[in-house]
Amino acid sequence: MSDHSLSKLHQRLEKETGIHTDFQKNMTYSEYLQLDKILSSQQRLSNHHDEMLFIIIHQVSELWMKLMLHELQAAIVAIEKDDMQPAFKMLSRVTRLQSQIIQVWDVLSTMTPSEYLEFRESLGKASGFQSYQYRLLEFALGYKTRHILKIYEKDERIHQLLEEAYQKPGIYDVSIKALHRAGFAINPDLLTRDFSKPYDRDPSVAKAWKAVYLDVETYWDLYQLAEKLVDIEDWLQQWRFRHMTTVKRIIGFKKGTGGSSGVNYLKNVLDHSFFPELWELRTQL
C-alpha cells in the first residue's frame, strides 16, 4: 500500500468517532473469547521451532471437531422430531467445517521428516489416535468399537462421555427411523436394536432408499437427508485420505506414537462405510 493510500486510510479511521476505547467496566473481545487460556495453551516440550506448528494444527482440528459435534448432535435430535429443515442446515454446516479441517493437513505437510524427528520423542505415547472428540464423531456417525474405550479410562469424565455416546443411536439410526415413519417397511429389529453395535447393511433399508431416489418429488426431504449424509461421508473420506498421505509423507510406514500401525491403519479405515446402502444404490439405480 502506498504512503498516500495509508494516509487516506488513517484519515478515514480518525473520522470513526464511535469506536469504543474505554473498557474498564466492559467486556473485551479477548475476555469474551478467553484468549488468555487459548493462546497460553501451546506449551512446547522441546525447543524445536516446528513443534508450535504441530501443537496448533491439532488444537485447531479439535476446535473444528467440537463444532462439528455440536451440529451433528443437534441434527440427530432434529431428525428424530422430523424437523428436517434445521437438520439440513446443521448438516450443511458440518460439511463446510469438514472442508476446513481437511485443509489443516496442507499446513502440517510443510513440516519435513527431519523436522518432526527433532521433537517426536517428546510426545511419548500421545497421539491423535487418542482424540476422544474424533471417537465421538465416529460414534455419532454409527461406527462403534468397544475396545477403543479402554484408551480413555485415565479420565473418568471423558470415559463416561464416550460410554454414553456409545449407547446412543447415530445419525444413520435416526435416519432409518425416519424412513419407517414415512411408511417404508423397515426391518423392525433395526428400530429397537442395540445401538452400541455397529450397523450392518439391511435389505429393507436398501429398498427404502432406492424408492426414495426413484420418486424424489414424493420423498424430497428424505432424498435431501440422504444426500446430506453422503456429503458428510464423502468429506470424511477425503479427510482420512489426506491424513494418511500426510502421515506417509512425514513418517513413512513407521508406527504411530500411539502404537497403531500408522499408514497401514489409516489405509484400512478408508474401506469402512458409514452409510453403505446410500453408496450401493448408485450402482443399482
132 labeled binding residue = no
Distance CA 199, CA 17 (A): 61
Rounded to whole angstroms, the Cα distance separating 176 from 70 reads 21
**What's the CA gap between 249 and 52, in Å, rounded?**
19
Dist. CA 279–CA 213, nearest whole Å: 12
Residue 116 annotated in ligand binding: yes
Judge contact between 166 and 144, C-beta under 8 A. yes
Using CA atoms in the order 119, 256, 61, 91, what is the torsion angle rounded to 10 degrees?
Answer: 170
Cα-to-chain-centroid distance, residue 236? 7
Q: Is 12 annotated as a binding residue?
A: no
d(CA 128, CA 147): 17
- Which residue type is seen at 94? V
User: Annotation-wise, does 76 bind a ligand?
Assistant: no
Residue whose C-alpha cell is 422430523 = 82
- Integer Cα distance of 53 and 106 in angstroms: 12
56 is in an annotated binding site: yes
On the 0-12 / 13-18 / 19+ scale of CB atoms within 10 A, 9 is exposed
Q: Is 192 annotated as a binding residue?
A: no
* Residue found under cell 477403543: 148
Q: Known binder of ligand: residue 57?
A: yes
Between the CA of residue 69 and those of 63, 93, 218, 235, what are the distances in Å? 10, 11, 31, 15
Burial class (CB in 10 A: 0-12, 13-18, 19+), 134: middle
Binding site as annotated, residues for substrate: 54-58, 116, 120, 257
Binding site as annotated, residues for heme: 243
Binding site as annotated, residues: 54-58, 116, 120, 243, 257
